[in-house]
Amino acid sequence: MPYKVDFIEFMVRSGVLTFGDFVTKSGRKTPYFINTGNYRTGAQAAKLGEYYAACVQENIAGKIDALFGPAYKGIPLAVACAIALSNNYGRNVNYCFNRKEVKDHGEGGTMVGYRLRSGDRVVITEDVITAGTAMRECLPLLKAAADVEIAGLVVSVDRMERGKSELSAIQEIEAEYGIPTYPIVTVREIIDTLHNRSVDGRIVLDDEMRKKMEDYLDEYGTR
């Protein structure tokens, strides 16, 4: 889909997708890094919401009662996606998110926004799934709030790396919880799109960087 190419270039222009020498939280040395914390303007948030909404529209049919954004990076994703679904596709979807700390005054609790009800179909919006830790933390919160159906998980990028087993983190989540995951793009699509492609007059993924990416996936990736 055309929005995938646009999204990849958008990440590069926003300084979210960068190439070089990095170390992930798990200790792996990686030639590329995705830092969604570098989105910082209203225009970027609006575009980001449109990409998430396009992915939802393409992959998740039927009624969606709520978007859930896990604290903290998932929160603006849920809000921006809900706005774009309303503006671009006429789908008026509720949104909610969790607090990291339980509020013991006012309305209390850990959830903010739409109050989930049993039977609701919920879509989770996240940035990048590497180990699946955030998902394993938020699923009990959702189930504690109500007996909801998780209709899908939407993420920016599937890094296609092994998690705790030979499966990727996304594959592990689907196998463990039966939740389908829909990435806007995969790392393979990033490689194929950006290899020797000029973005604003510069090549960000040349032959040398492509080899580093392929070597990294040979060592840590899933096929």
Tell me the catalytic residues.
103, 105
C-alpha–C-alpha distance, residues 113 and 69, integer Å: 10
Q: Are 104 and 111 in contact (CB under 8 A)?
A: no
CA angle centred on 133, ends 163 and 165, rounded to 5°: 20
> What are the distances in angstroms from CA 32 to CA 22, 53, 77, 218?
7, 25, 22, 15
Q: Are 158 and 127 in contact (CB under 8 A)?
A: no
C-alpha–C-alpha distance, residues 162 and 169, integer Å: 6
**Residue environment code for 207-218, b if the CB has 16+ CB neighbours within 10 A, otherwise e:** eebbebbeebbe
Q: Which two structure tokens, joined as six digits, stand for 81?
A: 């996606």
Q: Which two structure tokens, joined as six digits, stand for 116?
A: 């989930």
> What are the distances in angstroms from CA 186 to CA 20, 130, 164, 196?
19, 13, 19, 18
